[in-house]
């Protein structure tokens, strides 16, 4: 399952950990012992609450993980995203399923964020009773969004080295983008690794929308993630997207007052 860790805000990390891939294999789950297994989460693209930059689109996710001895296994999903001129964000979350399998993905969460009202609703579609959990959305609306560039050079504490590369421009889904590639070399022993390894992050950023239309992240600790945004429409989204789903009760989990204007 895809997890919305960076989808709206790092501040909302705990609120947005609404699903996870269970990495424990089926044969281990069926065994008598409960030892072992793990849970993993997948971060998706970040959508800032940007003013006057409406769009609707689809995000295609691929998570490619290496098999011991060679080969890979891949899980995928597709989901709808939108943002209106007021900066309100709509996102669907769908379960990740094996690529090219007969298993059908299901939508398990609808997220609606309003930076003007400081509200974030996580509506769980596969749970009973059907419920929307209300959290405080703390990000302000933005007139412009430019992600901070990675600073190349040695990392603190002799932990590694970073490089930054400009890749030029290309048009994706009818939108102009600028490409960058950041490579991080992690020295041996930093994370329990017995040899150095590389992490590469390639992004094609659409400044007019404030989002990456193509992201490829490769890290030997989890494999390769590819996020591709398609079917981009620059028209104002359907206003009904920002209405709570019918028949859902609301559980108010806000612990702090909304930010002062």
Q: What is the pLDDT of residues 121-151, one digit of tens each?
A: 999 999 999 999 999 999 999 999 999 888 9
Distances (CA, A) of 188 to 88, 152, 161, 169, 191: 44, 19, 12, 35, 8
Domain of 73, CATH number, reads 2.50.20
Residue 258, pLDDT score: 60
pLDDT of residue 77 exceeding 50, the answer is: yes
Q: Is pLDDT above 90 for 255?
A: no
How much is the pLDDT for 36?
A: 74
Residue 117 tokens read as 């009202």
- The pLDDT assigned to 259 comes to 61
- Asked if the structure places residue 156 within a domain, the reply is yes
Task: Look at residue 136 in the predicted model and tell me its pLDDT.
Answer: 96
Q: How does DSSP classify residue 62? A: E
Give the span between the Cα atoms of 47 and 148, in whole angstroms: 15
Q: Left (φ > 0), alpha (ψ -120 to 50) or beta: where does 108 sit? A: alpha
pLDDT above 70 for 40: no
Assess if residue 188 is contained within a domain: yes
Number of domains in the chain: 1
Look at residue 225 in the predicted model and tell me its pLDDT.
97
Give residue 45's domain range. Answer: 10-24+38-252
Quick check: is 59 in a domain?
A: yes
Specify if 258 maps to a domain: no
What is the mean pLDDT of the segment spanning 37-58? 88
Q: Please state the φ and ψ torsions of residue 126, each to the nearest 5 degrees.
A: -105, 0
* Average pLDDT of the segment spanning 162-187: 97
pLDDT digit string, tens, across residues 6-38? 343 332 332 233 333 333 333 344 456 778 766
For residue range 193-218, what is the model confidence (pLDDT) as tens digits? 999 999 999 999 999 999 999 999 99
- 257 found inside a domain: no
Q: Please check the confidence at residue 55 and state whether its pLDDT lies above 80.
A: yes
| Residue 261 counted as domain residue | no
In a domain, 30, yes or no: no
Whether residue 31 is contained in a domain is answered as no
């Amino acid at each position: 399952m895809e997890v919305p860790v960076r989808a709206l805000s790092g501040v909302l990390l705990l609120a947005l950990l609404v699903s996870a891939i269970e990495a424990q294999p089926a044969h281990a789950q069926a065994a008598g012992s409960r030892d072992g297994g793990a849970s993993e989460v997948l971060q998706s693209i970040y959508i800032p609450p940007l003013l006057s930059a409406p769009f609707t689109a689809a995000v295609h996710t691929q998570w490619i993980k290496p098999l011991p001895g060679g080969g890979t296994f891949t899980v995928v999903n597709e989901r709808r995203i939108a943002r209106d001129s007021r900066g309100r964000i709509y996102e669907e979350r769908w379960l990740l399923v094996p690529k090219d399998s007969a298993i059908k993905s299901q939508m398990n969460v609808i997220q609606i964020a309003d930076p003007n009202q400081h509200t974030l609703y996580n509506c769980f579609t596969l749970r009973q009773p059907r419920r929307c959990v209300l959290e405080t959305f703390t990000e302000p609306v933005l007139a412009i969004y430019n992600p901070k560039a990675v600073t190349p050079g040695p990392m603190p504490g002799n932990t590694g080295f970073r490089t930054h590369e400009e890749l030029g421009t290309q048009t994706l889904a009818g939108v102009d983008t600028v490409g960058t590639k950041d490579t991080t070399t992690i020295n041996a022993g930093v994370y329990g690794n017995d040899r150095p390894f590389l992490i590469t992050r390639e992004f094609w950023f659409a400044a007019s929308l404030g989002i990456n239309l193509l992201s490829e992240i490769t890290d030997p600790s989890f494999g390769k993630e590819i996020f591709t945004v398609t079917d981009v429409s620059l028209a104002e989204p359907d206003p009904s997207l920002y209405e709570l789903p019918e028949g859902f009760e609301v559980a108010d989990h806000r612990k702090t007052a909304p930010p002062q204007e």
